[in-house]
Chain A
């Protein structure tokens, strides 16, 4: 078993073996979550603080349940309503919390790199729950677990990621992870929603859904933010749906057993047709949510093990 990280800041820092370690452990937590007991004491005695500087219902709930199932003391801080509004800087907030001796900090922040900055200033394990347009590592890991369980492997698959790539941390983490695991990654979307020079990341770029979806094993749809639909990036919602919304006709170009994924929350009728999202033979969107809890349990468990080992190696509680 290999997992050497002190924090989970992004997929970029992970070795493929470490990704495998997380997924293997997550598999066992899937079983636990499906059992009647649903409890472990892996994080017993540890304090987990969820700091969400950006609105989130699903991810925060997922981290909260994951922590509670592992026996951690979980606290949610609604950062939007708190001292940030009073002008306190991110660093000061971090130092204040750090003084309360948390063990796991789960952080979401609207600015890229903010979680990395925070991780430098605290002496506990930090999990990135999404930073700006940068990374969302647990989302990529849960997507990977879903794919691996559905397809029986996580390599040599053709994965199409469709939609607003430019503003998506989910897409970035996913394309890095899928690349590391030696898959063929395609990005599909209008050029106005593609990051610059994205073709240099070892991916294939398409602006036509039918071409891009051809023979894909996995179709990953991304949410299109409402504020991007005002004519600045795409002409209109209906034109977007016509050209890039996933419907049965477009999906027919993928492999017959291709699975459909979405990180949620979905805009039905914008990026995905409702009937596809609900098709139990194709859509694995609910499974993704289930895998999310298991993956977050696995990630926090592994980080806590490293944290405890670190502390044991350095007496007097000094573990910088």
Chain B
């Protein structure tokens, strides 16, 4: 089956271009760019057509918390958000730390999710930081990276051995840098706002401490390492040095730290409680700038579904995290509309770079690339209603917020998984 998208603003992150043109897909792959009209024609009306988003920060409640999010609900949310590939986190209950759990996850994903799903595995058993998982088996079973997520491996000997072992397998390790003692019990970032609200706080310096430690171990072991969830300006010089020194290091930031700051918590609004906590406006701008310059490679959603019960608690006791699969694109468009980054740069961060770093197809508009595409109107305004989200959990910080940028259609392997024929 052949389809041609005409009159489309093609966002090509690889060529760094944003220009009107047409794109033809055939049998699930891109068969031509500006190669004339062939097959079914979809007139895009000058809207943007880009490679589908590859989101590397998705938490799904399976196994363990299916009432918060299932593969089906997350898959629908992804499709509605223009996400064609979800790389899912292993911080489930139990953690994805055996090949058997990984097989379960892969089976569930293939049965019900309309988008591509790849799974990360825990780095240590039970994410407890003591014994490494069976990395070889897990790689064979399809694990694309290893991470204990927000559980920091505190024992440097355990961590360095896991890294050394991972290097021998060519496996990627993801770190969420944080000094766990500094951040113990913290709900917000220390500073004027935290003091006013009387909330337990962590110094932004705790992130840099965690990162410096991880980078020393990376230098020691030579492992491929992606630091995710960076959020503070203090951590950036260390990252810059590591990259300049030629370490195999990439970095990521999540969408909330690019679009919100600590003051958004306001009157103890728990939907703004995320981990790490929201930072200062200066930090937010530093993160956006780092994305623009390429120092930070990847933007993810850190999609973390939480039910109402776990959020309707005093701020200190409330669960952390926010859903973001469906709001990633309009939230990221804020950065574009604010003139901080352009669309090809944004698409490198949400599509091309994550695909390359994780060794996945996607992120490209070239012949032979999978027909994983998103068609969106970058300017369409709307007010977000959290109850209209596809996620089972509705914990978005953007409820009632005016946003710009709407997904009109999503294609995975050439199949339309979201949007009608109105595009």
Contacts and interface: CB of A to CB of B under 8 A. Distances in A.
Q: Judge: A and B partners, yes or no.
A: yes
Interface of A: 12, 89-91, 109, 111-114, 116-117, 131-135, 169, 172, 195-198, 200-201
Given A89-B309, A196-B190, A196-B201, A114 B314 contact: yes
25 contacts: A89-B312, A89-B313, A90-B313, A91-B312, A91-B313, A109-B314, A111-B315, A111-B316, A112-B197, A112-B198, A112-B315, A112-B316, A113-B267, A113-B268, A116-B267, A131-B198, A132-B314, A133-B199, A134-B197, A134-B198, A172-B198, A196-B190, A196-B192, A196-B203, A197-B190
A197 B190 CA distance: 8
Given A132-B199, A200-B192, 5 more contacts: A113-B314, A113-B316, A116-B267, A134-B198, A134-B199
A117 B198 contact: no
Query: Considering residues A113, A134, A196, which has the most beta carbons from chain B within 10 angstroms of its beta carbon?
Result: A113
A12 B190 CA distance: 20
Q: Which 4 A-B pairs have the closest CB atoms?
A: A133-B198, A113-B268, A195-B195, A134-B198
Contacts of A134: 197-199
Nearest to A196: B190
Contacts of A109: 314
B312 A132 contact: no
B313 A197 contact: no
Contacts of B190: 196-197
B198 A135 contact: yes
Interface in B229-267: 267
Contacts of B197: 112-113, 134
A169 B317 CA distance: 19
B196 interface: yes
Contact of B195 (A114, A116, A198): A198
Given A112-B197, A172-B196, A195-B195, A132 B316 contact: yes
Nearest to A176: B196
B120 to A, nearest CB: 33
A133 B316 CA distance: 11
A132 B196 CA distance: 12
Interface string B289-328: 0000000000000000000010011111100000000000
Contacts, number: 69
B268 A196 contact: no
A196 B191 contact: yes
Interface string B185-207: 00000111011111101010000
A116 B317 CA distance: 14
Nearest to A115: B314
Contacts of B268: 112-113, 116-117
Contact of A196 (B194, B267, B309, B313): B194
B191 A169 contact: no
A169 B191 CA distance: 16
A195 B316 CA distance: 17
Contacts of A90: 313-314
A169 B201 CA distance: 15
A284 to B, nearest CB: 26
A135 B309 CA distance: 25
Contacts of A111: 314-317
B198 A197 contact: no
Contacts of B195: 172, 195-198, 201
Contacts of B194: 195-196
B201 A112 contact: no
B312 A197 contact: no
Given A117-B268, A135-B198, A172-B198, A112 B314 contact: yes
A201 B196 CA distance: 9
Interface string B338-350: 0000000000000
A116 B318 CA distance: 14
Nearest to A197: B192
A311 B317 CA distance: 34
A169 B198 contact: yes
Contacts of B199: 112-113, 132-134
Contacts of B198: 112-113, 131-135, 169, 172
B317 A197 contact: no
Query: Considering residues B192, B194, B196, B201, which has the most beta carbons from chain A within 10 angstroms of its beta carbon?
Result: B196
A198 B316 CA distance: 21
A94 to B, nearest CB: 11
Contacts of B192: 196-198, 200-201
Contacts of B313: 89-91, 117
A237 B314 CA distance: 33
Contacts of A116: 267-268
A180 to B, nearest CB: 14
A113 B312 contact: no
B345 to A, nearest CB: 34
Nearest to B187: A112
Contacts of A169: 198
A299 to B, nearest CB: 20
Query: Considering residues A111, A132, A133, A172, which has the most beta carbons from chain B within 10 angstroms of its beta carbon?
Result: A111
A117 B268 CA distance: 8
A256 to B, nearest CB: 33
Query: Considering residues B267, B313, B314, which has the most beta carbons from chain A within 10 angstroms of its beta carbon?
Result: B314
